[in-house]
């Protein structure tokens, strides 16, 4: 029997959960740490979305297990959405509304579904690039592609204020139904 703790074990192992979340939030600004920890714990509590046979094993022989990528991917996307958003949404030409819309468009459940689908379809995509950390590069590309989707969604929005109001309303309704 292996002593390796899996993504699914973290849910019931409180000490290991606290350790993992703490390590992943180490570089997170104090102003965002509570929300970051809340999202990470939400993902851990809802690991059933990742309980797929297609996600078992590793992307590339001798590299990290695919399920070990889930929490770092979530941490990375949170960082890119809330702590270091794309420069296009910062500066003197953005009154903050496009940035607000960009951040509101992020939905952890949607990201988790996207992550599952993309991890499965991307397995082995960089197999010929043997001198890279292919798993880390694949993960980075998956997260960057999701960020690119959010950027595109904002840029295609013609009524930013209306979209912001709609998303805020939808998120409140979603919270009420949980």
> Per residue in 80-130, pLDDT tens?
999 999 988 877 666 678 999 999 999 999 999 999 999 999 888 888 888
Residue 31 lies in a domain: no
Q: Which residues sit opposite 58 in a β-bridge?
A: 65
Q: Which domain holds residue 82?
A: 57-177
Q: How far is CA 102 from CA 1, 4, 92, 113, 153, in A?
A: 45, 37, 17, 19, 8
Is the residue at 167 inside a domain?
Answer: yes
> Count of domains in the chain?
1
Indicate whether 45 belongs to any domain: no
Q: Is residue 38 part of a domain?
A: no
pTM: 0.88
Query: What is residue 91's three-state secondary structure?
Result: coil
Is residue 18 assigned to a domain? no
More confident position, 31 or 61: 31
Residue 3 lies in a domain: no
Is 14 inside any structural domain?
no
* Residue 33: inside a domain: no
């Amino acid at each position: 029997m292996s002593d390796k703790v899996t993504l699914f074990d973290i849910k019931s192992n409180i000490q290991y959960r606290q350790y993992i979340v703490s390590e992943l939030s180490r570089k997170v600004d104090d102003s965002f740490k509570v929300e970051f920890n809340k999202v990470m714990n939400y993902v851990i509590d809802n690991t059933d979305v990742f309980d797929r046979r297609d996600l078992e094993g590793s992307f590339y022989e001798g590299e990290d297990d695919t399920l070990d990528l889930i929490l770092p991917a979530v941490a990375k996307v949170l960082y890119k959405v809330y702590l270091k958003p794309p420069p296009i949404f910062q500066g003197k030409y953005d009154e903050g509304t496009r940035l607000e819309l960009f951040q509101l468009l992020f939905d952890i459940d949607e990201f988790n579904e996207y992550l599952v689908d993309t991890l499965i379809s991307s397995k082995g995509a960089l197999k010929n690039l043997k001198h890279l950390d292919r798993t880390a590069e694949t993960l980075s590309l998956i997260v960057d592609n999701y960020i690119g989707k959010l950027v595109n969604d904002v840029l295609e929005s013609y009524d930013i204020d209306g979209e912001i109001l709609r998303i805020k309303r939808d998120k409140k309704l979603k919270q009420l139904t949980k």
